[in-house]
Amino acid sequence: MNIFTCVFVVGTSIFITGIEYLKNEASYREAFDSLPEFRKEKARKMVQERSKRECVGAWILLRKALSSWGVCLDELQVKVNAFGKPEVPDVDNLFFNFSHSGERVLCCISERSVGCDVEQIKPSRLKVARAAFSPTEYEYLEAVPEGEDRDDLFFRIWTRKESYLKAIGTGFGTEPAKITVWPQAGRMHFYEKKLDGYRFCCCAESEAEPDWNEVKDG
């Protein structure tokens, strides 16, 4: 039963964690057993062990993030919209999103629409950028010499784009090349961090500067 109807919190909170601890079989099993059945089923369908850890670790981080706002995830009626985004439509002023890449998980919660993305920085690919970036974004990227600076810009634009699409609720149901997030993206606000070879980005309607939280072991 959902006992929450409204959450009285202003702003946005961002949480980052590593999921290396889930390589331990006992830790993974304990975390897995605490998941709701639909999330367990999603983890079971994952083929790669790292994908299973990402799926489990994201939910554990979301639970801790919501707990910091005084909300119990296990008491919420979590639903998935037509584009696959988890949400709690029965609760006012509570929006969340999570993302995972490599051994990192990112979660953000806010009183207004929010989306996030984390990506491990790797060599950029102009072929991908040509298909997914707007002409303006591609022009910026192509102007940067090949190397670390271009790789970083590629993933900075990519994480902005994916977090924006998740914030508006459509994900890649909206053609990514048709929206421009670099250098700006209308009314939305981007909060970014580069850490340990990863790019983290939160896209939020809220103008309030978010607080960043690094969580140990999920």
Say if residue 97's pLDDT is above 90.
yes
Query: Domain 12-215's class?
Result: alpha beta
Contacts (Cβ under 8 Å, ≥6 apart) of 184: none
List pLDDT tens digits, range 163-193: 999 999 888 888 999 999 998 777 889 999 9
Whether the model pTM is above 0.75: yes
Asked if 17 contacts 215 with a C-beta cutoff of 8 angstroms, the reply is: yes
List pLDDT tens digits, range 40-77: 999 999 999 999 999 999 999 999 999 988 888 988 88
The residue ranges of every structural domain in the chain are: 12-215
